Amino acid sequence: MENISYIGLSQQLSLQQQMNMTANNLANMSTPGYRAQQTLFSEYISQPRGGDIVRQANNSGSYRNLSVGSLTQTHNEFDVALQERGYFAVQTPGGIRYTRDGAFTLNAERQLVNKNGYPVMNENNETIQVQADATQVRITEDGEITSEAGTIGRLKVVNFDNEQDMLRTGENLFNPNGQAEVPVQNVRVVQGFTENSNVNPVVEMNRMIEVLRSYQSTQRMLQTDHERIRTAIQKLTQV
Amino acid sequence: MSLTLDIGATGMLAQQLNVDVISNNIANMTTTGYKRQRAEFQDLLYQTKVRPGASSSDQGTTVPAGIQQGLGVKAGSVYRINEQGALQMTGNPFDTAIKGEGYFMITLPSGETGYTRDGSFQLDQDGQLVTSEGYDVQPGITIPPDAVDVTINASGEVLVKLQNQTALTNVGQLQLATFANDAGLEAIGNNLLLETEASGTAVVSNPGEPGYGQIEQGALETSNVNIVQEITSLIQAQRAYEMNSKIIQTGDEMLSTVSNLR
């Protein structure tokens, strides 16, 4: 009897979840290296089975759009962007984390660090030290950092078998969730650029309207069902 | 549900900061030695609702991708981009510009040392080289009153020609300071910067030494603000702000749908 209400409820819950993700995508529209996220469960709900089975929407999943974002030129010598899939590695207090946000800088000890002060790793998992006499720093396409004073090191760029499996930890960082690093064959690093988020505002706005309208139509369905039950009770008691 | 409203609010706050930074850049478009700034954002923490790789059956199958709900955006940092600005010739003998790395050192009234790329110096009543606020340039350089001509060469030596003399007299040496991390300097207004824990300590040397810029007399360094870039960023920030406000509106509409449910 209440199946319609349950189906409506589960759809509204999943729409709320989708709305929250859309909101997070739009809020991170200008976060460098951010990957747009999308929920998977609206498809589960759109074809609910009849009978007594009511599908709950919660444990379906979400996926990240892994396409490479556009690049913004910053002219900053330690800003780097990746033009292919892959991640830079940084040493955080909780272990090595991976990021596509290449807005790096030097700290007071002349180590290459990210904007949270976490040291950036070279290919041997060591911190990168830029000598005091290093001027005209160049970062080549394969991640080699050189200056007039000589070679400084090479940025570590790695990827993972299942990027969807990686956990986000905030601060533009990813936790590989136990996966092993896979070396990237064709590293393409560009200096003086940062990668924009790959959020497409048109898609997100469109999804937002869609979610709102589905939400409203579900509400209408619930109301109609409510009316139906009320009418039934009235008719049955008029005997 | 109110999560949507909160996330939208973090987005609006972030874009507000972005617009603030851009407007400060545009306002300082003609400020001598100004370095443009850029706001950088980071995503906030995530709520893990379903952990990726969680087991989905006793047959060993796992969830290919979990559900991680982000909580919005925050400002990561606002950093200066220390790209060289263009040199503008002024013809004024006490206007100096740095071509390359380094900062002039200024003694502030508090006794601290301030650092600046603004080399529009003047003389005070004692003939001492001071900034346009009247703060002394370090190391102190005094121009004798009978000097008829002043030359500041590329390596920062201040040479004067005295009346009735043919040879130039050296009256001082301008010095420059460099830092490990220029972006870590603290701006205090009046084109001045202060040393911080993040910048590292100042390393002082003569201009023209390796790693230090050269001095150009009779020129000033203009700001490195690129107005076309700033206006483009301003348009982007404004649109992003609007979209985040739409998120809040939509979240509100969904909430009002709920309250009309009965």
Q: Which pTM does this prediction carry?
A: 0.81
pLDDT for the residue numbered B17? 94
B interface mutation test: which of A28, A80, A99 has the most B CBs within 10 A?
A28
**Torsion angle of the four alpha carbons A201, A203, A209, A212, in this order, in degrees rounded to the nearest 10:** -100
pLDDT for the residue numbered A50? 54
pLDDT for the residue numbered A234? 93
- Determine whether the interchain pair A34/B43 forms a contact, defined as Cβ–Cβ distance below 8 Å: yes
Cβ–Cβ under 8 Å, residues A193 and A101: no
In angstroms and rounded to an integer, the radius of gyration of the C-alpha atoms of chain B is 27
The number of residues making up chain B comes to: 262
* pLDDT tens digit sequence for A189-203: 999 999 999 999 899
Chain B partners within 8 Å of A22 (Cβ): 247
- Determine whether the interchain pair B43/A170 forms a contact, defined as Cβ–Cβ distance below 8 Å: yes
- Determine whether the interchain pair B72/A64 forms a contact, defined as Cβ–Cβ distance below 8 Å: no
B206's tokens: 């003569």
**A38 - beta bridge partners?**
A63
Local structure of residue B181 (DSSP, 8 states): -
Task: Tell me which amino acid residue A65 is.
Answer: N
> Of A59, A105, A116, which has the smallest distance from its Cβ to B50's Cβ?
A59
A85's tokens: 């899939």
Q: For each of chain B's 262 residues, which pLDDT tens digit applies?
A: 578 999 999 999 999 999 999 999 999 999 999 999 999 999 998 888 777 777 777 887 777 777 888 899 999 888 888 889 999 999 888 999 999 999 999 999 999 999 999 999 999 998 899 998 899 998 888 988 888 889 999 999 999 988 888 888 899 899 999 998 888 899 998 899 999 998 889 999 999 988 899 999 999 999 999 999 999 999 999 999 999 999 999 999 988 888 877 6
- From the CA of A150, how many Å to the nearest CA of chain B? 14
> Of B65, B197, B236, which has the smallest distance from its Cβ to A165's Cβ?
B65
- Please name the residue that has the structure tokens 């850029």: B38
> Of B42, B44, B65, which has the smallest distance from its Cβ to A63's Cβ?
B65
In the predicted model, what is the mean pLDDT of chain A? 85
pLDDT for the residue numbered A2? 66
Higher per-residue confidence, A117 vs A10: A117
Chain A partners within 8 Å of B183 (Cβ): 105
B interface mutation test: which of A4, A18, A26 has the most B CBs within 10 A?
A26
> Of B18, B70, B180, which has the smallest distance from its Cβ to A24's Cβ?
B70
pLDDT for the residue numbered A92? 92
Given pLDDT bands bounded at 50, 70 and 90, which one contains residue A46? very low
- From the CA of B66, how many Å to the nearest CA of chain A? 5
Q: What is the Cα–Cα distance from B29 to B33, expressed in whole angstroms?
A: 10
pLDDT for the residue numbered A16? 86
> Of B1, B79, B197, which has the smallest distance from its Cβ to A105's Cβ?
B79
pLDDT for the residue numbered A55? 55
pLDDT for the residue numbered A190? 93
Q: What is the Cα–Cα distance from B147 to A84, expressed in whole angstroms?
A: 62
B23 three-class SS:
helix
B interface mutation test: which of A13, A18, A31, A204 has the most B CBs within 10 A?
A31
* pLDDT tens digit sequence for A56-115: 555 567 788 888 999 988 888 899 999 989 999 999 998 999 999 999 988 888 899 998
Cβ–Cβ under 8 Å, residues B47 and B69: yes
